[in-house]
C-alpha cells in the first residue's frame, strides 16, 4: 500500500492533465446507456426511466459460494487483505465481542484480494457495466455486506441515500453499481428499496439521520426527498444482480430474520471520468470524516486529499488506463 501511495502522489504532483470525458456518442434516445451495448431497447428505456435494472441469475452459485467462503476467512482473520476496512454494527460494537462473521457487518476496499476481486472482473458482469460506462472501466469501490439480524435497535437499517454523495469524481452518468444477492433477499431480511426515477434529480444534502437506536459509521442519509415518492423493494434470488445509477435514492430496511443477509457489490466508473474537489460542497462532510479515519490508519504525517484516497482504491478491470487509474 505504501508503494501504491507513493506512486499516486508522484502522479498527482506531476500535474498530468486529465484526459477529459470520452466523446463517444450516446444515442439521443437514451441518456444513460451506451449505443450498441448488450442491453435491449426495452432494458435501456427501463434504466433511463427508473435508474436501475435487475438481471436475473447473472452470477453462478459456485462463484458466490467461493466469495462467501473468502468472506468468512477474512472475518476469522485467516485471510488478511491489505487496506481492507472491516465494519461492525453500532449495536454489536457496544456489546460484548462477537467472534467471526457474526461480528462483521461489512468489509470494503478489498481490491487487493485475488479471490474477491474476481467478482469485479467477472466478464458476465462487465458486459453490463460497459453498457453504462463504456469500454474503459475502473473498479472504484467494493463491498461485501453482511446485514445482521436486527438487535431491536433498528440499527440494521441503511438510510436512504445517493451513492454519488461519497464519490469525488464525475460525470455521474458514467458511474454504475453492480450489487449481487448472495442468497435470497426479500423484505424480511432487509432487501434494497429504491425510489424509481430519482436518478434524474440532483445530488442532495446528506447527514446522519437522528435515529434513536444509533446509526452505523458513515451511513449518511439524504436530507430532502418526498415521502410520497413511489418505492420499489428489490426482492432477489441468489445470483440476481441489480445495476443502478449513483444518483438513485436507495437504502434497505431492517433484517427481521435470525440469519445474516449477504450481498457483494462493486462501483465502476469510466476511466474517462475525472476527479473533482468537493471542498465547499455538500460532500465536504463525508470527505472530512473519511480523511479523519484515513489519518488514524496511515498517520498524520501523510498528506492526502479525498481525491488521493479514491485514486488509491481504483483498479483497472477492462480497457485502457485513464484518469481514474494509473
Cα gap 104→46, rounded to integer Å: 35
Cα gap 52→72, rounded to integer Å: 30
The predicted pLDDT at position 257 comes to 92
**Residue 67 or residue 156, greater confidence:** 67
Q: Work out the average pLDDT over 25-32.
A: 70
pLDDT for residue 43 is more than 90: yes
Strands (E), 3-136: 52-55, 85-87, 106-108
Q: Work out the average pLDDT over 79-97.
A: 70
Strands (E), the chain: 52-55, 85-87, 106-108, 137-147, 158-161, 169-170, 175-181, 192-194, 206-207, 221-222, 232-234, 241-244, 250-252, 261-270, 274-275, 315-318
Task: Provide the pLDDT confidence category of residue 58 given band limits of 50, 70 and 90.
Answer: very high
Q: Work out the average pLDDT over 57-79.
A: 95
**Residue 286 or residue 90, greater confidence:** 286
Task: Provide the pLDDT confidence category of residue 17 given band limits of 50, 70 and 90.
Answer: very low
The predicted pLDDT at position 72 comes to 92
The predicted pLDDT at position 99 comes to 53
The predicted pLDDT at position 28 comes to 57
Global model pTM greater than 0.95: no
Task: Measure Cα distances from 233 to 55, 198, 258 in Å.
Answer: 15, 15, 20
Cα gap 65→51, rounded to integer Å: 29
Percent of the chain with pLDDT over 70: 82
Cα gap 27→50, rounded to integer Å: 18
What digits encode the pLDDT tens for the residues 94-141?
444 445 566 788 899 999 999 999 999 999 999 999 999 999 999 999
What digits encode the pLDDT tens for the residues 153-164?
666 777 899 999
Task: Provide the pLDDT confidence category of residue 214 given band limits of 50, 70 and 90.
Answer: low
Q: Mean pLDDT check: name the lowest of 20-24, 211-215, 228-232, 315-319.
A: 20-24
Cα gap 224→221, rounded to integer Å: 9
Nearest Cα residue to 108 out of 298, 290, 321, 305: 290
236: β partners: 185
CA atoms within 13 A on the CB side of 104: 20
Angle (CA) 198 147 232, round 5° = 30
Q: Work out the average pLDDT over 227-244.
A: 96
Amino acid at each position: 500500500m505504501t508503494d501504491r501511495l507513493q506512486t499516486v502522489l508522484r502522479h498527482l504532483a506531476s500535474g498530468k492533465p486529465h484526459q477529459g470525458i470520452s466523446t463517444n456518442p450516446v444515442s439521443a434516445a437514451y441518456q444513460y446507456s451506451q449505443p450498441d451495448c448488450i442491453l435491449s431497447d426495452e432494458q435501456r428505456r427501463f434504466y433511463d426511466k427508473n435508474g436501475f435494472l435487475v438481471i436475473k441469475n447473472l452470477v453462478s452459485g459456485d462463484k458466490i459460494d467461493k466469495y462467501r467462503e473468502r468472506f468468512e476467512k477474512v472475518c476469522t482473520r485467516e485471510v488478511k487483505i491489505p487496506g481492507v476496512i472491516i465494519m461492525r454494527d453500532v449495536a454489536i460494537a457496544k456489546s460484548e465481542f462477537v467472534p467471526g462473521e457474526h461480528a462483521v457487518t461489512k468489509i470494503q476496499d478489498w481490491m487487493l484480494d485475488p479471490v474477491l476481486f474476481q467478482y469485479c472482473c467477472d466478464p458476465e458482469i462487465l458486459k453490463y457495466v460497459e453498457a453504462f460506462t463504456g469500454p474503459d472501466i475502473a473498479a472504484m469501490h467494493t463491498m461485501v455486506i453482511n446485514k445482521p439480524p436486527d438487535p431491536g435497535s433498528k440499527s440494521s437499517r441503511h438510510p436512504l441515500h445517493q451513492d454519488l454523495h461519497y464519490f469525488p469524481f464525475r460525470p455521474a452518468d458514467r458511474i454504475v453499481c453492480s450489487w449481487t444477492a448472495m442468497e435470497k433477499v426479500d423484505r424480511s431480511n432487509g432487501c434494497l428499496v429504491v425510489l424509481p426515477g430519482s436518478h434524474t434529480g440532483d445530488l442532495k444534502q446528506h447527514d446522519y439521520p437522528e435515529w434513536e437506536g444509533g446509526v452505523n459509521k458513515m451511513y449518511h442519509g439524504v436530507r430532502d426527498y418526498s415521502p410520497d415518492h413511489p418505492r420499489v423493494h428489490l426482492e432477489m434470488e441468489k445470483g440476481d444482480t441489480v445495476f443502478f445509477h449513483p444518483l438513485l435514492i436507495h437504502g434497505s430496511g431492517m433484517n427481521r430474520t435470525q440469519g445474516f443477509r449477504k450481498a457483494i457489490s462493486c462501483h465502476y466508473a469510466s476511466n474517462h471520468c475525472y476527479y473533482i474537489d468537493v471542498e465547499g460542497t455538500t460532500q465536504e462532510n463525508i470527505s472530512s470524516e473519511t480523511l479523519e479515519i484515513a489519518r488514524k490508519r496511515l498517520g498524520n504525517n501523510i498528506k492526502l486529499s479525498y481525491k488521493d484516497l479514491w485514486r488509491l482504491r481504483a483498479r483497472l478491470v477492462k480497457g485502457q488506463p485513464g484518469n481514474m487509474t494509473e
